[in-house]
Structure 1
Amino acid sequence: MSTSALRTPLVLVAGVDRAAVARAATALFGDLPGAVLVHHDVRELGQGVVVRTVHMHAADGVRAETTAVELAHGCLSCTLRLDLLPLLVDLAHRADVSRVVLQLDPTLEPEHLCWAIDNLLLDDTPRAAATGRAEPAAAFVEVEAVVATVDARTWLDDATGADVLADRGLAATPDDDRTLAQLAVGQVAIADVVLLAGRPDDAWSAVRLAAVLDRLVPDAARADLDRWRPAEVLAGLGPEGRWSRCFTAHEPLLRGAPPLGEDAGVCLVRFRARRPFHPERLHDALDVLLDGVVCSRGRFWLASRQDSALWLESAGAGLRLGDAGPWLATYGDDPQRWVDVDPQRQVSAALRWDAEHGDRDVEIVVLVHQQIPGAVIAALDAALLTDEEYALGPDAWAELPDPFGAWHEEPCEAGTPADDDSTHVTYREDRS
């Protein structure tokens, strides 16, 4: 860094296809003077190691340093964090490094790493030693962009299918139960730049792919992987990257200004309600989000869990539900509980505040490609409490059968907390 006040730019490159990611990362490395290329190869996980390679420009060409990083207590996420975050800080302190390019293995999700960079505190940096105050890697590096590579011929099928990562040889660990759709959608949903590799099989497929991307990442730059100019594309990005908007259940669910109309069967469906879901009927209704749907996400109010805001996100045939912490209505007049609440969440809650139930509500956004929008609305609407059930009140709702079971903590999962002041817990169910 030229001065302590400046942070070194960081570009993350992600995608399902290893070769395409490598091409994009190499182009960035070669096109940006002073860039460093960092790659963690996880294909040797069976031997308990992650192979880290750092490429740097030198007077005599490009120098590569390869290191075998031992797997930390069997957890890939922790291994990457323990190795990558200090490395980023070290590189940021080098005067000859102007930018870091991080080439992600196909199994990695950029949102998780962005959250770790921004939130996990490091107590062994020189500044922390001098001040006694731990800081995140974000104090030294700034995520300039997330670049996602997309195989234009296969991505939409991958993003709407039911294959698990193990089916494609992409599972990070033996117990990695993520679906390919969750990975493919997650990598693109956070992207500032989408690079298309190849072309769809026909004009109709091209239109459908464009319609999906227009709605999933309306504000992302889009370019051809074979012909893009990295420096020009990065220079054209806005000052606020999508990477800083790691999903929480309480932020606006529609980012940017996506088209709201239908195109080639692709459209956004927005469902809102001011009463809770019946647990059993919602459990049955969730199947509508896993057929003919690219992805969905949102927060919801479950009658049997009056105090907790819950969230859901799906991609293809994969679904996750989780606890997003308490509704603000449970905070009462305790000023200490309100201190750390995000101001945007407070404003949003105030605009929809109900005298009896506070900020409790349902809002779910669904991106469909082969599903009838009305079917989504009808299924979710039928899962809400009826007028008779609603009239019984919260005490009666608490006694309703709840098929979702217990939520469980996942301390080593490379996930982002649903909210900063809550424990991140997830309920998974195989609906494929």
Structure 2
Amino acid sequence: MGTEVLLVAGLAQHDVAEEVWRASPGSVLVRHDLRDLAQGVVRRWVDGRLTVLELAHGCVSCTLRLDLLPLLERLGGRVVVHLDPALEPEAVCFALREVDVRVEAVITVVDRETWLADATGEDTMHDRGLGAAEGDERTVAQVVVGQAEFADAIVLTGAGDDPALGAVLDRLSPLAPRRRRDALDVPELLAAIPDDARRGRFDDGFGALLHGQPPLRPAHGAAVVHFTERRPFHPMRLHQAIDVLLDGVVRTRGRVWVASQPDVALWLESAGGGLNVGNLGPWLAAVDDWSEVPAERQAAASAVWDPYYGDRSQELVVITRAAAPDEITAALREALVTDEELALIDELEFVDPFAEWHDEMEEL
């Protein structure tokens, strides 16, 4: 019998995982404490029984690979996993692909008093004493936004009722039902998760970027900017324009094409003041043999194919908290190559600040 997992994530202290466990007769509650991970020490509780683990390498991937994955396979049945605040559920679900485990749901706990400030701030996890290991350079914003974005359901804790928080979550995770902690009915919450919820599944970097039909009209300062364009970005002007994606913005995700790298699709992702740029791989216009390309990607590329550009294009989705959508759109449009540059694109030599910035995309 395989294992069915409920993951409970969130930066703030909470007892939601215990509530989910109590509402699931016969389930097992697992929790890891990674505060001393840098010293190679992990504390793990299984139904309240503590085990202190000593790992040769103090890293998140070792904790997942050497302890959590074999533990889940060994336990079987339903397991509620209370994730350490430093863990992002997407990375955990990526690791779970290696074992016979099904993710029933990801539940993220959001503190109404602190989440918006965290999601638009510049503090690092290290600043908060929450870094997963030495060299953890993630911002708090990257963690809390990732936790909420990947959620199948959200539980709200803390005081307050800021409509701006609801407006942002509507756009960040539109499919996830939200419930207050003081009125939480776990079976009802799980039943409210829609059939097309993520449940641990990953987005294709070349797939659709707008999921769950988020509201496109602004509300309470929150808005969605959906930027699309066929021509490439000038690499230096895009680099200069990136500041508009970091100030007053909760999340940016999308594919970009810079003129200096005509065959490569870059993935740009920001949360608060944190930014990552990764390599998605080649555009299909640069690939001769499509036999190993998933049929869904072939179909999507064929539907938008251009005789000149092929499937190359720009697509970014930006969720704002206080930034002006028109200014973001204008800054990105001004970063595109001009008609004159496009006509001479094969002859121009571009200074490319992205050339050594990105690595192949990978999870923890």
Q: What TM-score comes out, normalization by structure 2 length? A: 0.95
Change (3 A) 1:273 1:409: closer
2:300 is aligned with what amino acid? S
Does the aligned pair in 2 maintain the 1:159–1:316 contact within 8 Å? yes
Report what 2:111 is aligned to: 151
User: Could you list the runs of 5+ residues in structure 1 that have no partner in the other structure?
Assistant: 2-6, 56-63, 119-135, 416-432
Report what 1:385 is aligned to: 337
Report what 2:83 is aligned to: 104
Tell me, in whole angstroms, the C-alpha distance in 2 between the residues paired with 1:377 and 1:107.
33
Larger gyration radius, structure 1 or structure 2: 1
Deviations, residues 140-176 of structure 1 (Å, cap 9, x unaligned): 2210100000000110010001111111111112211
Tell me, in whole angstroms, the C-alpha distance in 2 between the residues paired with 1:168 and 1:113.
22
Report what 1:77 is aligned to: 61
Moved more, 45-54 or 186-195: 45-54
Report what 1:425 is aligned to: none
Report what 2:219 is aligned to: 263
Does the aligned pair in 2 maintain the 1:8–1:142 contact within 8 Å? yes
- Name the Cα RMSD after superposition: 1.7
1:372 is aligned with what amino acid? A
Which among 152, 158, 163 is matched to residue 192 of structure 1?
152
Report what 2:168 is aligned to: 212
Does the aligned pair in 1 maintain the 2:6–2:80 contact within 8 Å? yes
Report what 1:358 is aligned to: 310
Which among 155, 172, 184 is matched to residue 228 of structure 1?
184
Report what 1:114 is aligned to: 93
1:351 is aligned with what amino acid? A
Whether 1:50 and 2:50 are equivalent positions in the alignment is no
Tell me, in whole angstroms, the C-alpha distance in 2 between the residues paired with 1:269 and 1:409.
26
Report what 1:61 is aligned to: none
Q: Per-residue deviation at 1:81?
A: 2.0
Deviations, residues 94-118 of structure 1 (Å, cap 9, x unaligned): xxx3x11110000000001111112
Which among 396, 400, 409 is matched to residue 347 of structure 2?
396
Tell me, in whole angstroms, the C-alpha distance in 1 between the residues paired with 2:263 and 2:52.
47
1:299 is aligned with what amino acid? R
Counting aligned pairs with the same residue, the percent is 51
Q: Per-residue deviation at 1:253?
A: 0.6
User: Could you list the runs of 5+ residues in structure 2 that have no partner in the other structure?
Assistant: none
Divergent runs of 4+, >4 A = 407-411
1:342 is aligned with what amino acid? P
Report what 2:26 is aligned to: 34
Equivalences for 1:410-425 in 2 at 5 Å?
414-415=363-364
Tell me, in whole angstroms, the C-alpha distance in 2 between the residues paired with 1:341 and 1:35.
40
Q: Per-residue deviation at 1:408?
A: 5.8
3-state secondary structure, aligned to 2:167: helix
Whether 1:237 and 2:229 are equivalent positions in the alignment is no
Does the aligned pair in 1 maintain the 2:164–2:222 contact within 8 Å? yes
Equivalences for 1:125-164 in 2 at 5 Å?
136-137=98-99, 140-164=100-124
2:212 is aligned with what amino acid? G
Does the aligned pair in 1 maintain the 2:38–2:132 contact within 8 Å? no
2:347 is aligned with what amino acid? A
Number of residues of Structure 1 aligned to a counterpart in Structure 2: 364
Does the aligned pair in 2 maintain the 1:249–1:310 contact within 8 Å? no
Tell me, in whole angstroms, the C-alpha distance in 2 between the residues paired with 1:182 and 1:230.
27
Q: Per-residue deviation at 1:236?
A: 2.8
Report what 1:280 is aligned to: 236
Whether 1:344 and 2:336 are equivalent positions in the alignment is no
Q: Per-residue deviation at 1:87?
A: 1.2
Change (3 A) 1:314 1:409: closer
Whether 1:67 and 2:51 are equivalent positions in the alignment is yes
Tell me, in whole angstroms, the C-alpha distance in 2 between the residues paired with 1:243 and 1:237.
9
Q: Per-residue deviation at 1:389?
A: 0.1
3-state secondary structure, aligned to 1:396: coil
Q: What TM-score comes out, normalization by structure 1 length? A: 0.81
Whether 1:14 and 2:6 are equivalent positions in the alignment is no
